[in-house]
Structure 1
Amino acid sequence: MILNFLGCGCAYRPQFGNTSAWLSVDGRLFLFDCGETVFTRLLQTGLLERCRSLTVLVTHCHADHAGSLPTLISYMHDVEQKPVAVYYPGEDVRTLMTCCGIAVDECEFYSGANIVFAPGIRCSAFPVEHHPDLHCYGYHFICGPESLYYSGDARRLPPGVLDAFLNGRIRELYQDATFLEDQGASHGSLDYLSAVIPPSLRRNVYPMHFSGDFSGQLRDRGFGVCMEPLGR
């Protein structure tokens, strides 16, 4: 279950596109995060026209992860006239939408630590270390026999997620690796991933949220490349 990326950049590298990914299951579009650049890129892909419904999984409320979500919800309601739902294990996103004038009938909100979207499709949320004033989550997304983990912005993998990957219960990891070296308390790094992921499993680990073009370093260390940066 490989994600398709609309962008792979951090907040300060919009030329790479805000980090966001999607997959489609039986016409139902699942979108991971919806930063400032994401709505425009969705329009360019034609995905919104082709899907039957949309579910957005929001990891946290920083603008590069939720900045165009209000516009996307309004567009789906007013233009596409298709159902749209948002998953976030708390009230922050709902509050943000209220501040942006999104009416209650424009969107369905899912909350809680575990959610079943449809038969065989479910998700569990893991609190992650990113910003002390925000509730931030990574998501273990399960579709039938396949599963993946998407970190959002996170300095580390939750222990339960790392153990599940090392033991084969999670197939792919998508993990914040903003910095080539571990430079702070808010984001992950390639050095961290290299320390915890054995070389034999790195092909199924996709660092993301780049502050530079690290694609060469990823290949050198045996990691997957979620997408080539779209700018320099």
Structure 2
Amino acid sequence: MVITHTHPDHVGSLGDVIFYSYYILKHKPTIFFPQKELIEKFLTSIGVSTEMYNLNSNNVEAINDMKLGDFSIDFMPVSHVDTIPAYGFIMKLNGSVFYYSGDANGISNTIVDKLKNGHICRIYQDTCGLDYEGNAHLSLRKLCDTIPHEFRNKVYCMHLDKNITAEDIKHNGFNVVDIYK
């Protein structure tokens, strides 16, 4: 499990998933999060002991998984809120490289440059309709200001709010992440 930050909408059921994996599936899940002390303290505070999971807190990690094969995760700090650290990450998987923003109110020039020069094939970006100073999420207007038209078809908007529609996003040349239920 890759954790980008500790807001409840991102880790609220993490303890349940670990308990289920450990007690029912008899499996210790691996958690990827670059702030070891923070995630251990969080999990301990909800009753999850360290022997129930494996923790990888490296900023960059290359993994060989029996099911997924070779992949790597490269965490990078993102701007979201002042109260907790937040991260996006670049993942290399099956020869494909993508960026996942987590919750972020911007996209770094480094990521945009990697998209432009072909080092990243897709961006998954937290996007909202509200546009105000200090917003914890990236507004569609700011996304339009950040990504040139010719690269927008490689950007997938996610974590949408009620102030934005799929039509708004598509009209500006971006994609909307499909939700599977």
AA paired with 1:177? T
Which stretch of structure 1 is more off in the superposition, 183-192 or 72-81?
Answer: 183-192
AA paired with 1:140? I
- Alpha-carbon distance in 2 for matches of 1:147, 1:180: 29
Match of 2:88 among 102, 115, 138: 138
- Alpha-carbon distance in 2 for matches of 1:228, 1:172: 17
AA paired with 1:71? D
Q: Aligned pair 1:83/2:28, yes or no?
A: yes
- Alpha-carbon distance in 2 for matches of 1:173, 1:158: 12
Q: Runs in 1 of length 4+ with deviation above 4 angstroms? A: none
Number of residue pairs the alignment of both structures matches: 175
Flag structure 1 segments of 5+ consecutive residues without an equivalent: 1-55
- Alpha-carbon distance in 2 for matches of 1:193, 1:185: 13
- Alpha-carbon distance in 2 for matches of 1:166, 1:80: 43
Q: Aligned pair 1:161/2:111, yes or no?
A: yes
Report what 1:226 is aligned to.
177
Report what 2:101 is aligned to.
151
Greater RCO between the two (CA within 8 Å, min separation 6)? 1
8 Å contact kept, 1:182–1:188: no
Flag structure 2 segments of 5+ consecutive residues without an equivalent: none
- Alpha-carbon distance in 2 for matches of 1:68, 1:228: 19
Report what 1:216 is aligned to.
167
8 Å contact kept, 2:107–2:146: no
TM-score normalised to the size of structure 1? 0.71
Q: Aligned pair 1:98/2:44, yes or no?
A: yes
AA paired with 2:159? H
Q: Aligned pair 1:117/2:63, yes or no?
A: yes
Q: 1:182 to 1:222 in 2, by over 3 A?
A: farther
- Alpha-carbon distance in 1 for matches of 2:152, 2:111: 15
| CA root-mean-square deviation | 1.8
AA paired with 1:64? D
Report what 1:27 is aligned to.
none
Which deviations, in whole Å up to 9, do the C-alpha atoms of 1:112-132 show, x marking residues without a partner? 211112263111011011111
